[in-house]
Amino acid sequence: MPKPIAGPEIERLIQLLARLPGLGPRSARRAALQLVKRREQLLRPLAEAMTVAAEEVRLCSNCGNIDTRDPCTICTDPNRDTAVVIVVEDVSDLWALERAKALNARYHVLGGVLSPLDGVGPDDLTVARLVERVAEGGIEELVIAVNATVEGQTTAHYIIDQLADLPVRITRLAHGVPVGGELDYLDEGTLLAAMRTRTRI
């Protein structure tokens, strides 16, 4: 923008909004406009919610989840199976599994995957804390729910190695055809896995 058309305060708001995933420069302008038009219903509440989040959100020291309390809401939920822990790469995966109501258990958020090219080693992830949790006892099953990528699988193998001496059952999510998925869009590895683990109907 060569010449300012709104004050620098609004331009700054637009620039920051444009850095949110899902909003490009154009939709950031629309969002900024909507915000200033709906000052009391949207702009002020959102500013306050963000300020609260900036002050109060932290990583759970037990599981790596993000919450305003430590230990987090999930780690302190008395209605979850404490014997099963689902290992995920990221909080977004935790949220996805919770949305799916996949399993009423606890989680361990790794905070990424091993990636030597990106300089991500074991110390950058929460693997040591995971081993500690298992060693403390009470965990019977660990569901490794990392992404089915090369880095994800490498990370899974590293975790399994670290847990070799501990008495815990390690499982992983099944491979197969996505619900509603069309066969001819799937890669051969998925089709092969789905065929091998076919179930009787």
Q: At closest approach, how far in Å is the CB of 60 from Zn ion?
A: 3
Q: At closest approach, how far in Å is the CB of 113 from Zn ion?
A: 20
Q: Which two tokens stand for residue 145?
A: 């729910």
- Which partner in Zn ion, a second copy, none is near 17 (CB below 5 to 8 A by kind)? a second copy
Beta bridge partners of 170: 142
- Residue 182 identity (one-letter amino acid): E
DSSP 59-72: E-TTT--EESSSS-
- Which partner in Zn ion, a second copy, none is near 27 (CB below 5 to 8 A by kind)? a second copy
- Which partner in Zn ion, a second copy, none is near 95 (CB below 5 to 8 A by kind)? a second copy
Q: At closest approach, how far in Å is the CB of 155 from a second copy?
A: 19
Read off the DSSP letter of residue 107: E
Distance CA 119, CA 113 (A): 11
Q: At closest approach, how far in Å is the CB of 142 from a second copy?
A: 20
**Whole-number Cα distances in Å, 37 to 41, 111, 131, 147:** 9, 38, 51, 41
Q: At closest approach, how far in Å is the CB of 34 from Zn ion?
A: 20
| # residues near a second copy by CB under 8 A | 61
Instruction: Tell me which residue has tokens 């850095």.
Output: 19
**Whole-number Cα distances in Å, 172 to 15, 87, 144, 175:** 41, 9, 5, 9
User: Can you say how many angstroms the Cα of residue 25 is from the centroid of all Cα atoms in its chain?
Assistant: 26
- Of 86-145, binders to a second copy (CB under 8 A) are 90-92, 94-95, 98-99, 101
Question: Does residue number 110 form part of the binding site for Zn ion (CB under 5 A)?
Answer: no
- Which residue stretch of 15-23, 117-125, 129-137, 158-166 sits at the interface with a second copy (rule: CB under 8 A)? 15-23
Residues of this chain that interact with a second copy (CB under 8 A) are 1-7, 9-10, 12-13, 16-17, 19-23, 27, 29-37, 39, 42-47, 49-54, 56-57, 65-69, 72-74, 77, 79, 90-92, 94-95, 98-99, 101
